[in-house]
Amino acid sequence: MHSLVKKINILILIGFCPLLIFASAKDSTVYKNTTLLSFTDITSTALPSAPSAGSHCAAFTDITGDGLPDLYMTMYYTADISDLFYVNSALTVFSEDASARGINDHDGGSHGAVFADLDNDGDFDLINGTTVKRSGGTIIGADHNDLFRNDGSGSFTDITSTISDIYSTAKKTRSVVAFDMDNDGDLDIFTVSGYKGTDDDATGYPNEIYRNNGSMSFTALTNTIVGDLYNAPAGQGATDTDYDNDGDIDIICANRTGDLNILQNDGTGNFTLISPASIGISHRAGDGITMGDIDNDGDLDMLLVTGGAEGSAALYKNDGHGTFTFSASWSGITGYMGNFADLDNDCDLDLIFTGDTKCYINSGTGSFSQGASITYTTSPVDPRSISFADIDNDGDIDFAMGDKKSTPHIIQNNLSSENNWIKIILKSPSGQPGAFGAKIELFSAGHLGGTLIGYREARSSTGYITQDDPVIHFGTGTNSQVDVKVTFLDGTTAQRTFVSVNQTITIDHPDVLAELKVFLEGPYDTTTDLMKTGLNSAGLIPLTSPYPEDPRTVTSIPADIVDWVLIQARTQADGTAVISKSAFLKKDGKIVSDNGTTENITLALEQGSYYILVKHRNHVKIMSKNTVSLDYSSATLFDFTNETNLYETISMKEIKSGIWVMLGGDATGDGFVNAHDKNIQWRPNNGTYGYKSSDMNLDSFINATDKNEIWRVNNGRGTSIN
């Protein structure tokens, strides 16, 4: 995969590549990819009608619903011009269809554009940032932005005239962002109104901010509502990101003539302009800001780019709470941004600068060295955006590039590797495809919550007026299965475990929450009304759950844990399980998550009513008497120790007045306590010690106590639950 080159403190990449300097001198081992990765410029066949100049924004999104990412490119040059929409019709062949679909937007020219579900109806609408109005090719002023509603089939209607605040506002828009600034479940709009930043004239400020009122109604906001976001001296690119990891979406904007604009959200949609120096940033970004977790530590690192003849880039690593440390810099950057993607599917984010002739390969720790070359059929002249998508659905990431003064490009990744991948389609709790603001964590199978092998943030805009395909891509290396955790912007989560790789999965709802209480007969102490934790005290509870339905692994066993149990849910009492999840059982009867304290167990189910089952490896399984209502936001305790909640009492025992426990002695796990449990499990293990099903009272010893006090008194009992 990678071959070890050497340890160095400063690496200079010569030729057509920018010069790269690493700030860190400690353990800066550099790895170079030499054989696995190659690229082909397929523009001539993929975009047979590509323009010779004028392309700016590149935005990938599957608009036609066929599972293939389509491409929208805004156009801005020397005359009135139409924007372009390329339908991915044959994996690597795109057909231009903007006019037929109602989004050609013929006007003086556009820069930024974003696909976003603005009316929460499950499809992507389009916001197009108009830059100028022309007359006979001459710029005569600014113009309003345009909003196009998707009818659900991939055709659009221009509804700008019905939104008075947008229709009546004329600014020279550059970047466009769609984000839920106030966490109310719909997407608001922010646009950067100039390109110089601090030195812009009156047409370059203030910025435009529109609150989404629902049903395609928007209200313009000013500084009295949104604070510094309105008057921030922004120019060029803007990125919606939670840079400080506090659960709301901030905005970071470029500034060609001043400091970087870091606009910190207080969680309500009020923004404060933060001094870059106060969070450790000393470089500027004239054009693009790209965020990505380059070292898999669960926070977003920052790439700052100023393009042009004397362009440069600076990379900062996030220290965990929104403060940053300088990591590396590049000179000779002509393009307006860099972008991150796992190009070789080895579980880390690699890097390409727009128009560059090389990619940069991540060592795994956030240090980069030059990788495969990129050859263009037509040389880039004024490269602007670079957008990533798997255009041919082969599991590796390809890209499109806009160029103001030359043809746009489609570059195909020809990765030849046994590394695996997974792609994730997201939908927010409000029904928005893309789920902008969500955070996605990836783990090796069975290690949910452990060491990350990937981390992504879903967002509308990145770098310089770019939208990556909202389908989230991860390289998974040699992992054949993974665990996935999604945290949506509203704080709800979704977990999927033991997911097979080399496929695209959909996570279209959060997990429901369940709060459960149950007692096991074996370790129950009638004096304290708690269960004993002998297995835990002896260090015998395994780190991996014993249930094959969900063999999750933890790094340690928390205090007060009695054992693992298995939770299942059914839609019918005699049906099969629709979900199985391993969890810990505390001595007080509460079923808790891996950390040993969280009592709201997440289950990968849609909101609804389910029969709940609890299983233990040597107790008879139980089920709720009726369905239990489960939802995404909260859970009400369901108490299996209460007789009125039990599907049947034959499989349980009233150990004290009003306290019911699961029957012990089912050492074979077949739902019955009988001679098989004694003869197959207890008898051959009698006199031994350990984590065994024959230890019916869970004290770690297999002896006559298990047989006489548990098995013998329950012999002949069982359950009717299938």
60-109: per-residue pLDDT in tens? 999 999 999 999 999 999 999 999 999 998 888 999 999 999 999 999 99
Q: Residue 31: is its pLDDT beyond 90? A: no
pLDDT at res. 201:
81
Strands (E), 571-696: 579-586, 591-592, 601-603, 608-616, 619-623, 628-630, 637-639, 652-656, 659-662
CATH class entry, domain 39-420 = mainly beta
Dump pLDDT digits (tens) for 514-527. Answer: 999 999 999 999 99
Given a cut of 60, is residue 283 above it in pLDDT? Answer: yes
Residues 666-688 as b or e (16 or more Cβ within 10 Å = b) = bbbbebbbbeebbeebbeebeee
Burial (0-12, 13-18, 19+ Cβ within 10 Å), 24: middle
In this predicted structure, the answer to whether residue 23 has a pLDDT above a threshold of 60 is no
What would the two tokens of residue 481 be?
Answer: 């299965």
36 pLDDT band (50/70/90 cuts)? confident
DSSP string, 682-694: IHHHTT-BSS-TT
Going from the C-alpha of 683 to that of each of 494, 521, 654, 665, 672, the distances in angstroms are 44, 20, 28, 13, 17
Q: Do domains 39-420 and 512-718 have the same CATH topology?
A: no
Confidence tier at 655 by pLDDT (50, 70, 90):
very high
Indicate if the pLDDT at residue 27 is higher than 50.
no
- Model confidence at 10, pLDDT cuts 50, 70, 90, reads very low
The residue that leads in pLDDT, 722 or 20, is: 722
> Tens digit of pLDDT for each residue in 238-279?
999 999 999 999 999 999 999 999 999 999 999 999 999 999
Q: How far apart are the first and last CA of the chain?
A: 49
Per-residue pLDDT tens for 609-648? 999 999 999 999 999 999 999 999 999 999 999 999 999 9
Mean pLDDT over 402-414 rounds to: 98
Architecture of domain 512-718: Sandwich (2.60)
Domain boundaries, the chain: 39-420, 421-452+463-507, 512-718
CA 289 and chain centroid, separation: 19
Please provide the average confidence, as pLDDT, over all residues in the chain: 94
Give the model's confidence band at 20: pLDDT under 50 very low, under 70 low, under 90 confident, else very high: low
Q: How confident is the model at residue 24 (pLDDT cuts 50, 70, 90)?
A: very low
